[in-house]
Amino acid sequence: MIIKSATFICSNTKVSALPVANMPEYAFIGRSNVGKSSLINMLVNQHGLAKTSQRPGKTQLINHFLINEKWYIVDLPGYGYAKVSKSSREKWEKFIRNYITKRESLQCIFVLIDSRLEPQKIDLEFCCWLGEIQIPFALVFTKADKQSAVKTDQNVSAFKKALKGWFEEIPPYFVTSSEKSIGRDPVLDFIEQVNLDFVMPILTPKEDF
C-alpha cells in the first residue's frame, strides 16, 4: 500500500461525536509508552502526525486520522501505569470500551506490545477481553531495534505461548521498529487486504455516551 495522504480529523471523548462510520478504521492501543504514536507516524511516513511524548498517558482522547481519503487510523489512549487520578482512569476506560464495542466500522485493533519485555499480565488480559467479546485484533511488537533479533524472537514466542492458554488460534502478529521502519509494509499490506472485504455497516442513531 502506498500512503498518499494522512490527515488529522478530530479528537473526541464521546463515540457519538466521532466521524460517520462509513469507512474502515483500525485502532491502535497498548500500554502507556509502548511507542504507539511513533508507530503511527512511521506507518504513514509523516513525522509529527500523531503527537509523541516522554510522559506516559499523554494521549487521553480518541484521535482519528484519515488515510488516503479511504480509511482511518484511530489512536486510542494507552492503558497501564499512566499517573492519573482514579476517576480520570475510569472515565478513559469507559469511553475506550464504548468505542471498541460499539463502533460499527472498526475492522481490527492493533494491540501494541513492547518486544523487549516478557509477557505482561495487563497485555494478556486485554487480549483475552478482546477475544471474549469477539473483536478482531492483531499484535504489534514494537521497539525491535532496541535489542537482538534473538531476544525479540524469544519474547514474541513467549507471548504467543501465553496466549495459547486462551486462544485456539493465535492472532496475526507483526514485529516492528519505528526508527528502522521495520514491519511497515506487512502492517499496511494487512490493512489493505482487510479493506477489500469492508462492507458498509447499517448505522443506527447514537446515544450520547
Question: What percent of the chain has a predicted confidence (pLDDT) above 70?
Answer: 87
Name residue, grid cell 482519528. Answer: 64
pLDDT (0 to 100) of residue 13? 78
List Cα–Cα distances, 111 to 68, 72, 101, 142, in angstroms: 23, 16, 15, 10
User: Stretch 172-186: mean pLDDT, rounded?
Assistant: 96
Q: What is the pLDDT of residue 3?
A: 94
Confidence (pLDDT) at 98: 87
- What would the pLDDT profile of 34-89 be if each residue is shown by its tens digit? 999 999 999 999 988 887 554 444 457 889 999 999 999 999 988 765 555 566 66
Written as one string, the DSSP assignment of 9-65 is EEEES-GGGSPPS-S-EEEEEEBTTSSHHHHHHHHHT-TTSSPP-SSTT---SEEEE
Question: What is the reported pLDDT for 94?
Answer: 80
| Strand duo 62-67 + 137-142: pairing | unpaired
**pLDDT of res. 52:** 58
Q: 11, 22, 12, 43: which is closest to 184 by C-alpha? A: 43
Find the length of the chain: 209
Each residue's pLDDT tens digit, 141-162: 999 999 999 999 999 999 999 9
- Give the model's pLDDT for residue 54: 46
Q: Order of strands across the sheet with 106-114?
A: 6-12, 62-67, 71-75, 25-30, 106-114, 137-142, 173-175
Cα 99 from Cα 165, distance rounded (Å): 27
Q: Going from the N-terminus, what domains does the chain have, and what CATH number goes with each?
A: 6-196 (3.40.50.300)
* Grid cell at residue 178: 519505528
CA distance 153 to 144: 9
Question: pTM of this prediction?
Answer: 0.90
Average pLDDT taken over every residue of the chain: 88
More confident residue, 184 or 168: 184
For cell 510522559, name the residue.
Answer: 55
Q: Which DSSP string corresponds to 100-164?
A: HHH-TTEEEEEEEEETTSPPPHHHHHHHHHHHHTT--EEEEEE-GGGS-HHHHHHHHHHHHHHHT
Is a pLDDT exceeding 70 seen at residue 119?
A: yes
More confident: 208 or 166: 166
Assigned C-alpha cell, 7: 490527515
